[in-house]
Amino acid sequence: MNSGLNFLVAARQCEIGELEQLARTGELVGVISRFTHELQRERGISNLFLGAQGKRFGKQLASQVAECRQLERDVRQHFARLDTDAIRVRNGARLFSRIAVVLHALDGLAGLRHRIATQALTPGDSTEAFSRLISGLLAVVFEAADSASDPAITRALVAMFNFMQGKEFAGQERAFGVAIFASGYIDTTRQHHWRHLVESQEACFQVFSDFADAAIRADVQASQDIAVLNELERLRRAGFSIGSGGRTDPGMTQAWYDCCTRRIDAMKAVEDSIVLHLRQLCERKIAQARTELRDHQTILDALTRQASAAPASTTAAYGPNLERSVVGMLQEQSRRLQVMSDELDTVRTALNERKTIERAKGLLMAHRQLSEQDAYKMLRRTAMNQKRRLIDVAEAVLAMSDMLPRNAL
């Protein structure tokens, strides 16, 4: 008779199941955050090592590689744990495909390190290889944010993803600047690229601010050391105006690395509090959903007792008071899901900017037979040349798509 209420309970159980999965995803994001941080540092030290023709920084690099290896094991373990309950993972097809890409890149890491140790590649190529791996790791975080069904958690994940992406641009700037200072040379293309890295950081941190909790925003504010920022600005100016005349002071390269590292390490502390916040949020939501489920269950039991005691009636299954409480529960649930769905729509628009860029990339891949990387490079180069934002170029590419020949895909 009260079969409707059984489904209300089942709906709640589904919600709890999804929240528990989000909590596990949150853990995975935390592990990826730690690994990414150490990889970013390895990328920077590798450029110091390559810039010094392997004469310095060898020991520092070796100890950083050991640190990364340890964290790689953690990440692989977390991936493997996901695999065990494959079917239950929301958005599994996309998430697992991203993980496959990361694992393949990880398998190539030993080879990359070998080429760095033997100085068989340029700082630019090394930076690009590390950046590709990190971009794969961030794509896993993005899929996690994209699949969450709870608006508050989605909001936290969107903030987290954008913070990580902003920090990654800061990390790329560190490695790029190391190469510039070590070579003592800069040209217009490199100046454009540097500016692009700075602007990309700002864009990400803006989205982060829009979505982060007030407490987290305050953490960011508190973590900013004005002396470090001033030093960063000074060094940026120095880097931008480096002449074409040979090497600069090697102390300058080290100063740049140290200044960037202080800033990025402070960002890592913020990231840790976002991860903590995310975990607490999941725990709170799960506890709340469980309490509400128990309340539903109590009413359900009362109704079952009453329905079996009362004679069958042709008009209503329960007395008027209980009937009202059933209708109330159904309405409350509908209203709550509606509110959640609205909030989710709002948060998701923030994810759309990234999706637009992905879509433009896909279009270029299909129509111009480009690899994913080359398509992205083409977008980025166009943005840099035309001094437009990446998202504007992506939108322009999509707007043109009707004029391109249809492909077979």
Position 226 contacts a copy of itself (CB under 8 A): no
The first and second tokens of residue 80, run together, are 């493997």
Using the rule CB under 8 A, which residue among 199, 358, 374, 395 binds a copy of itself?
358
**Which of the ranges 156-164, 182-190, 267-275, 325-333 carries the binding residues for a copy of itself, by CB under 8 A?**
325-333
Site for a copy of itself in 111-130 (CB under 8 A): 111, 114
Q: How far apart are CA 227 and CA 348, in angstroms?
A: 36
Q: Which is nearer to a copy of itself, 144 or 232 (CB)?
A: 144
> CB of 240: closest distance to a copy of itself in angstroms?
36
Nearest to 91 by CA among 80, 99, 101: 99
Q: Which is nearer to a copy of itself, 181 or 318 (CB)?
A: 318
> CB of 225: closest distance to a copy of itself in angstroms?
37
Position 215 contacts a copy of itself (CB under 8 A): no
Position 5 contacts a copy of itself (CB under 8 A): yes
Using the rule CB under 8 A, which residue among 122, 291, 331, 369 binds a copy of itself?
331
Position 355 contacts a copy of itself (CB under 8 A): yes
Position 295 contacts a copy of itself (CB under 8 A): no
Position 149 contacts a copy of itself (CB under 8 A): yes
> CB of 332: closest distance to a copy of itself in angstroms?
10
Position 324 contacts a copy of itself (CB under 8 A): no
Q: How far apart are CA 200 and CA 187, in angstroms?
A: 20
The dihedral sign for the CA sequence 39, 45, 49, 55: negative
**Residues 6 or more apart in contact with residue 236 via CB below 8 angstroms:** 177, 194, 198
Position 330 contacts a copy of itself (CB under 8 A): yes
The answer to whether 137 and 35 are in contact (CB under 8 A) is: yes
DSSP label at 406? P
> CB of 256: closest distance to a copy of itself in angstroms?
31
The answer to whether 274 and 231 are in contact (CB under 8 A) is: no
**What would the DSSP string read from start to end of 145-173?**
HHH---HHHHHHHHHHHHHHHHHHHHHHH
How far does the chain reach from its first CA to its final CA, in angstroms? Answer: 51
Using the rule CB under 8 A, which residue among 55, 63, 66, 86 binds a copy of itself?
86
Site for a copy of itself in 238-267 (CB under 8 A): none
Q: Which is nearer to a copy of itself, 98 or 263 (CB)?
A: 98
Position 15 contacts a copy of itself (CB under 8 A): yes
Q: How far apart are CA 175 and CA 50, in angstroms?
A: 11
Site for a copy of itself in 366-385 (CB under 8 A): 366, 371-372
Under rule CB under 8 A, how many of the chain's residues touch a copy of itself? 71
**What would the DSSP string read from start to end of 46-103?**
HHHHHHTTTSSSHHHHHHHHHHHHHHHHHHHHHHHHHHHTGGG-TTHHHHHHHHHHHH
Position 88 contacts a copy of itself (CB under 8 A): yes
Position 69 contacts a copy of itself (CB under 8 A): no
